[in-house]
Amino acid sequence: MSDIPSDLLYTEEHEYLRPSSEEGIFFVGITDYAQGELGDVVYIELPDTGISFSKMEVFGTIEAVKAVSDLYSPISGEVIEINIALDDDPSLVNSEPYGEGWMIKLRVDDEGDLDALLDADRYEDHIS
């Protein structure tokens, strides 16, 4: 069974948003379920900082042994940081998807967009 933390928000495409200590700033990554479906992650292509994305716009790609998949921005916002640790060790997405395996930090344009995301119970129903 996949780990689904109750304090995160999720998309149907298996990205999550985790609040940072700064208001309006969120960590974005893929869920434990998604990394399990992909298999061993071998490469991640992430955007540069300062680039803005619309909700559900592709912000990068993730390559695993089984497949290559697009990464979608859960909400509209600006990338303020990327996880450079993934350059050296993309398998962090497999071992710690909700911790050290985060991908980008996003400054949210409109916090009202958060209302459209799934809570843990709804995400669990989605993957069941």
Q: What is the pLDDT of residue 76?
A: 97
Q: Catalogue all structural domains in the chain, each as residue range(s) with its CATH number.
A: 9-111 (2.40.50.100)
Taking CB atoms within 8 Å and a gap of at least 24, the contacts of 41-44 are 41/90, 41/91, 41/93, 41/94, 42/90, 42/91, 43/90, 44/71, 44/86, 44/90, 44/93, 44/103
2 has a pLDDT exceeding 90: no
pLDDT classification of 125: cutoffs 50, 70, 90: very high
1 has a pLDDT exceeding 70: no
pLDDT digits (tens, 9 = 90+) for 67-114: 899 999 999 999 999 999 999 999 999 999 999 999 999 999 999 999
